């Protein structure tokens, strides 16, 4: 398996750093290929603008999707974006490794998505999205550390369910581009637990990496389950098909 880890933590000795190191060691020892984009170490530019392109479609008005479509047709992405796209198309599985910051991705990783997930049919668009997406057939997984304890992120917890917090990433970015989304690997409160618990988390993470091809996935409705206004035709039908209420769906 070819695994692409996009790592977003400014401190190499952090627990996030330990997780990425554990993943690299476990995967390579088992004969898998691994590519890592360590965004802080690379000094990755997270600001999406004209620097994304070597081509210009409209010099008077910057509309990113139009520039992306033009660049997709004219081989016009900047070398730093093209290098990330190459790894994205190369991999069988994408791992986003990050600490939860303000209920979402650290800005450097959000910027990576903003710049690399380009429209115009390159990574999405032209009818290629969700189960018909460009990246269909590949797996993707969030691997994240969270400051709070897990009860806080349960259905009745102060922060609300973690599945709701990760929905914009799992559904809005990963499933949107066609990935099959693996259940996230979550480490709660790594700073507050004992060395033994941290070691157990790392052991479980190695196992998850080695079982990536068969790890449980999140089932989302397919495009055919929606009407022309992208509203679920029948939430009940989707529920019986998925075995649970569609994630993000509200009665």
Q: Given the rule CB under 6 A, which residues bind ligand FAD?
A: 9, 11, 14-16, 18, 99-103, 145-148, 190-191, 195, 198
The least CB distance from residue 57 to ligand FAD, in Å, is 35
In terms of CB distance, is 79 or 194 closer to ligand FAD? 194
In terms of CB distance, is 15 or 175 closer to ligand FAD? 15
Q: What share of the chain is helix, strand, coil (3-state, %, to 5)?
A: 40, 15, 40
Mapping DSSP onto H, E and C, the string for 120-175 reads CCCCCECCECHHHCCCCCCEEEEEEEECCCHHHHCCCCCCCCHHHHHHHHHHHHHH
Q: What is d(CA 39, CA 45) in angstroms, rounded to the nearest whole number? A: 9
Q: What is d(CA 105, CA 115) in angstroms, rounded to the nearest whole number? A: 14
The least CB distance from residue 29 to ligand FAD, in Å, is 17
In terms of CB distance, is 148 or 235 closer to ligand FAD? 148
The least CB distance from residue 58 to ligand FAD, in Å, is 36
The least CB distance from residue 156 to ligand FAD, in Å, is 16
In terms of CB distance, is 19 or 71 closer to ligand FAD? 19
The least CB distance from residue 21 to ligand FAD, in Å, is 7
Longest CA pairwise span in the chain (Å):
58
| Chain centre distance of CA 34 | 16
In terms of CB distance, is 137 or 172 closer to ligand FAD? 172
């Amino acid at each position: 398996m070819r695994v692409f880890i996009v790592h977003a933590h400014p401190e190499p000795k952090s627990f996030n750093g330990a997780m990425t190191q554990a993943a690299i060691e476990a995967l390579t020892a088992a004969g898998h290929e691994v590519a890592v984009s360590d965004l802080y170490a690379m000094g990755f530019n997270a600001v999406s603008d004209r620097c994304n392109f070597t081509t210009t479609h409209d010099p008077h008005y910057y509309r990113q999707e139009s520039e992306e479509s033009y660049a997709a047709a004219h081989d016009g992405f900047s070398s730093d974006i093209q290098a990330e796209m190459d790894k994205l198309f190369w991999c069988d599985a994408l791992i986003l490794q990050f600490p939860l910051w303000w209920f979402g991705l650290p800005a450097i990783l959000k910027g990576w998505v903003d710049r690399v997930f380009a429209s115009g049919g390159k990574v999405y668009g032209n009818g290629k999205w969700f189960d018909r997406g460009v990246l269909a057939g590949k797996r993707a997984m969030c691997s994240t550390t969270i400051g709070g304890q897990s009860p806080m992120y349960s259905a009745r917890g102060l922060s609300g369910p973690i599945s709701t917090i990760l929905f914009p990433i799992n559904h809005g970015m990963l499933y949107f581009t066609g990935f099959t989304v693996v259940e996230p690997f979550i480490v709660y409160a790594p700073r507050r637990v004992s060395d033994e618990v941290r070691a157990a988390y790392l052991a479980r993470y190695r196992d998850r990496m080695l079982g990536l091809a068969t790890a449980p996935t999140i089932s989302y409705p397919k495009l055919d389950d929606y009407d022309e206004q992208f509203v679920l035709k029948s939430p009940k039908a989707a529920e019986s098909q998925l075995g649970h209420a569609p994630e993000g769906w509200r009665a």
